[in-house]
Amino acid sequence: MPYVAVNGLNMYYEVHGEGSTLLLLHGGGGSIPEKCIPFFTPPFRVIAPEQMGHGRTADLVDRPFHYHDMAEDMVELMRQLAIESAVVVGSSDGGIIGLDMAIHHPERVTKLAVTGANARFDGYTQENQEFVRSFDPRSEPVSEKYAQLSPDGVEHWPVFLGRLQTMWAVEPSLTNEELQSIEAPTLLVFGDRDIVTPEHAVEMFKSIPGAQLCVVPNAGHGTMPKEAVLTFLHEEATSAT
C-alpha cells in the first residue's frame, strides 16, 4: 500500500473502490476505519489516510498535534494525489479535521459528514472534560491496532497519547463565525450518549448554514449510521437557507 510525502510526514493511505472521491478520516488514536469502507464502495473511490502518529504514519515528535495542521496535511495529500475536491467523512477527531478543511479550504470539500465532532472543548460533557485533562497516558493500555501497525513501536504509545492529550485538553476552538462560513452541505451525527453534549450539537447545527442533524438513539461516540449518511451523500445539493 502506498505512502506519500506530506508536510514532512511519510503518510500512509489506502485507496478503495471507484467513482467520485470520498476522503475518510479516522478518529484520534485510531487508524483506518476498515469496517466503514464497504459502506462507501461503491459508488465512491475512498481515500483513507492515517494521520501523524496514527496507524502506519510515524510520529514527528518535534511537531505538536493541532487539528488545523492535520487539516492542512489532508489538503496537501489531496494536492499530491491530484484531487481537486472530495466528499469528506470524518469520525471524532477526523470530523473536526473535516470541519477545519471546510472552513479554510471550502473549494476542497463538496460535502461534509461528521460524527461525534465538537467545535470547542467545552462542547464535551463535563465528565469527558475531566477525563481528558486528568488521565495518565502511562497507565493507558496500548491499543491493539497501535501495537500492530505503528512504526514507532509500543514504547512510544504513552508519548503519543500524551501529545494527543495536550491537544485534546484545549482544542478544538472553532468559533460560531467560522462554522457559519462553511459552504459545503453538512451532516452532523451524534449518538444520544455521545461525549459531545446535545446542547453543543444543536449549537453547531444552528451555526452551520443548511446543516442537517442526526441523533442516533442508544448510541455512543463516533456512531456511523450507514443509511442516514448514504442518504445524505446521495442527495442533490440545495442552497443553504
Domains of the chain: 3-234 (3.40.50.1820)
Residue 241: pLDDT band with limits 50, 70, 90: very low
Task: Provide, rounded to the nearest whole percent, the portion of the chain with pLDDT above 70.
Answer: 98
Of residues 82 and 240, the one with the higher pLDDT is: 82
Residue type, 192: D
Q: Which pLDDT belongs to residue 240?
A: 36
At 125-177, the pLDDT tens digits run 999 999 999 999 999 999 999 999 999 999 999 999 999 999 999 999 999 99
* β-sheet bridge partners, residue 109: 86
Residue 236, pLDDT score: 73
Q: What is the pLDDT of residue 27?
A: 98
The answer to whether 90 touches 97, Cβ cutoff 8 Å, is: yes
Indicate the pairing of strand 86-91 with strand 44-49. Answer: unpaired
How far is C-alpha 207 from the geometric centre of its chain's CA atoms?
A: 19
Residue 104 has pLDDT above 60, yes or no: yes
What's the whole-number mean pLDDT along residues 193-199? 98
Q: Are 108 and 85 in contact (CB under 8 A)?
A: yes
| Neighbour tally for 211: CB within 10 Å | 18
Q: What is the pLDDT of residue 49?
A: 98
- How are beta strands 20-25 and 44-49 bridged, if at all? parallel
Which band of pLDDT confidence, cut at 50, 70 and 90, is reported for residue 1?
Answer: low
User: Is residue 239 scored above 60 in pLDDT?
Assistant: no
Q: How does residue 189 score in pLDDT terms, banded at 50, 70 and 90?
A: very high
